[in-house]
Structure 1
Amino acid sequence: MKEPFVEAAKRRVLLFDGAMGTEIQKRNPRPEDFPDGKDGFNDGLILTRPDWIKSIHRSYLEAGADCIETNTFGSNKLKLDEYGYGKDTVEFNRKAAQLAREVADEFGDNRYVIGSMGPTGFLPSSNDPDLGQKPLDEIRQAFALQAEGLILGGVDALLIETSQDILEVKLAIEGCHQAMEKTGKKVPVIANVTLDQYGKMLLGTSVQAAYTTVSGMGIDFFGLNCSTGPVEMAPSVRWLAEQQELPILVMPNAGMPHNEGGKAIYRMGPDEIAEKMAEFVRNYPNVRMIGGCCGTTPAHIARLRKVVDS
């Protein structure tokens, strides 16, 4: 039988996958590849091009990843509403989780499927006349429906990721617990926040404040992902490691993004990112999971596999 996810993370450092969006772009999708021709609806590719998504999942597992994330970063109800799929939130997420589960199972019992839950696009902590006015119950419910579908699809953990508003993180965590109660199945919850190069979330919340706010809400792991590379994350990772409470997940971009011709370019190669991540694993025993975010590829993950194995 497969070792439970939390127990596996206690026993060994788990390796997550890398970026999904940039791997999709390598396939040069055309409008007709997306549901209803809705160009840019990457999550919708689970319906129209499941072969692509399976191939991406498989490439990361072949590179040595222990964990793959579902292609559901923008699949909370509020995001799916933008594409006309909000009413199908539970089923949509269930299908995405099952698709990832099928691929993970090809590699035996030692691979895990992580349900990806990105932000809604609203900022409930702000006074913005548009982004700050969404009712809190509506945001919570958007996450609860997503988490319900992911749980029904068989994920091993839920990952709240790329979070920029700490109030939204709290609502997402509450939504996860609500979904677990409804489905009668408990799964671990990982809460990741996104910090700028100065260690602050978008609305100014420090890593210390973010951690203190959510660490007692029944989450199993806390982490950082996106926005910066591992160099900029180092002070925040060090502070989190000093708390010696929750296990930590670290998923940086392949360096800071550079704008070239209107596109974000990430220049940190596999060897460079592996060198920095090796320092985290070596120096901080409660960094129990590492992986990559924007700009990271199967080549980056293969190199990180060597870091974990050594």
Structure 2
Amino acid sequence: MTTTNGQKLPHQTDRTFVTEAGFETSMLFHKGYDMPHFAFFPMLRTEDGRAAIKEYIAPLMETARQHDAGFILDTNTWRSSPDWLDLLGYAKGDHVEINREAVTFAHGLRREFGQGANVIVNGVIGPRGDGYDPLSIMTASDAEEYHAFQVGVFADNGVDMVSAITITNTPEAIGIARAAADRDLPSVISFTLETDGRLPTGETLADAIAEVDASCVRKPAYYMINCAHPDHFSDMLEQGGDWVQRIQGLRCNASRMSHAELDGSAELDDGNPSELAQQYSEITRLLPNLNVFGGCCGTDHRHIANICDALHAD
């Protein structure tokens, strides 16, 4: 499968791809947008919000272009699943349009800023519950039914793939992968890890990947690690095993703080961009198929630029 603009996807090539960084933390701490429940899709509905998103995206795409890397352009839909839209007060009749306009905006960004670059439009799905704490866990069948709504809107509006970001448990990951397969879309599962390198449920990443793969006729295209600092999981990767072959992406936090500490912090911890970049470079020896590089909480275009420079130096 190729993308809607005829390019290969990350799992179909060993080419380097760059993702976005910590969009929500950048908007909150750098731009002063304070959105309820960390839902930033309402920015798409204001002129100032759209301008801020463009200002955020432009240097990231330019970094990808300068390093001859592909760019994975996320739709602003992490908090656009039905339960969150209900909580935020949106009528059922608006749910499809909110997700559709996010995909349309992403396609527009690709046209405006993506000339000369391989840009992938990536339909983003967030967890049904909290991205740090799986208070209640659905069955895989319930997760497939729940997330089929967003996947369906993405498929109908021409995304290139679907990525589930900050997923805390395996049944939800299985459901999302199955929903994507039902609509013939490649899926990516990105697990949140705690400071001990495990999922918030206590599962090891190795077990989680094995369980999802075994439970899906059409497996996820690849897996990612997100919302954790390299210090939290590098030792776990050192153990190795066949499962490390399935990890192709990293979106790490700039901060070494735990999720609880991050939640309670009134200031942004943006860490050390050059140090983080060096840690990314070191992790490439542990993950032989790693070719997708981005950031999560506290990161911005500086971190991505440093990461690309470090990888290029190697």
1:52 aligns with 2:52: yes
1:79 aligns with 2:60: no
Instruction: Find the residue that maps to 1:66 and give its secondary structure.
Output: strand
Q: Is the 1:193–1:201 Cα contact (8 Å) retained in structure 2? A: yes
d(CA) in 2 for partners of 1:225 and 1:39?
A: 19
1:116 aligns with 2:124: yes
Per the TM alignment, residue 283 of structure 1 is displaced from its structure 2 partner at its CA by 4.7
d(CA) in 2 for partners of 1:197 and 1:167?
A: 22
1:157 aligns with 2:161: yes
d(CA) in 1 for partners of 2:206 and 2:263?
A: 34
1:98 aligns with 2:99: no
Instruction: Choose the corresponding residue for 2:95, options 71, 84, 89.
Output: 89
Instruction: Find the residue that maps to 1:265 and give its secondary structure.
Output: coil
- 1:13-44 Cα distance to aligned partner (Å, 9 max, x none): 212110111221222237xxx7xxx6854122
Per the TM alignment, residue 71 of structure 1 is displaced from its structure 2 partner at its CA by 1.2
* TM-score between the two structures when normalised by the length of structure 2: 0.81
Tell me the residue number matched to 2:67: none
Residue pairs, 1:14-93, within 5 angstroms: 14-25=17-28, 26-29=30-33, 41-48=39-46, 49-64=49-64, 66-85=71-90, 87=92, 88-93=94-99
Residue pairs, 1:1-310, within 5 angstroms: 2-6=6-10, 10-25=13-28, 26-29=30-33, 41-48=39-46, 49-64=49-64, 66-85=71-90, 87=92, 88-106=94-112, 107-108=114-115, 109-121=117-129, 131-132=136-137, 139-178=143-182, 180=183, 186-216=184-214, 217=216, 218-226=219-227, 228-239=228-239, 242-243=242-243, 245-257=245-257, 262-263=265-266, 265-310=268-313
- State the one-letter code of the partner of 2:162: L
Instruction: Find the residue that maps to 2:307 and give its secondary structure.
Output: helix
d(CA) in 1 for partners of 2:8 and 2:42?
A: 30
Cα distance change, pair 29–70 in 1 and its aligned pair in 2 (3 A): same
Q: Is the 1:97–1:153 Cα contact (8 Å) retained in structure 2? A: yes
d(CA) in 2 for partners of 1:285 and 1:12?
A: 13
Moved more, 264-273 or 296-305: 264-273
- State the one-letter code of the partner of 2:105: L
- State the one-letter code of the partner of 2:25: T
d(CA) in 2 for partners of 1:211 and 1:201?
A: 11
Instruction: Find the residue that maps to 1:224 and give its secondary structure.
Output: strand
Cα distance change, pair 206–96 in 1 and its aligned pair in 2 (3 A): same
Per the TM alignment, residue 3 of structure 1 is displaced from its structure 2 partner at its CA by 1.9
d(CA) in 2 for partners of 1:237 and 1:51?
A: 40
Q: Is the 2:39–2:78 Cα contact (8 Å) retained in structure 1? A: no
Per the TM alignment, residue 154 of structure 1 is displaced from its structure 2 partner at its CA by 2.6
Number of equivalent positions:
291
Cα distance change, pair 303–153 in 1 and its aligned pair in 2 (3 A): farther
Moved more, 299-308 or 288-297: 299-308
Per the TM alignment, residue 211 of structure 1 is displaced from its structure 2 partner at its CA by 0.8
Instruction: Find the residue that maps to 1:263 and give its secondary structure.
Output: coil
Per the TM alignment, residue 56 of structure 1 is displaced from its structure 2 partner at its CA by 2.1
Per the TM alignment, residue 278 of structure 1 is displaced from its structure 2 partner at its CA by 0.7
Cα distance change, pair 273–75 in 1 and its aligned pair in 2 (3 A): same
Instruction: Find the residue that maps to 2:207 and give its secondary structure.
Output: helix
d(CA) in 1 for partners of 2:248 and 2:309?
A: 19
Aligned Cα root-mean-square deviation (Å): 2.9
d(CA) in 1 for partners of 2:268 and 2:51?
A: 26
Tell me the residue number matched to 1:183: none
- State the one-letter code of the partner of 1:221: Y
d(CA) in 1 for partners of 2:309 and 2:81?
A: 35
d(CA) in 2 for partners of 1:260 and 1:140?
A: 29
Instruction: Find the residue that maps to 1:103 and give its secondary structure.
Output: helix
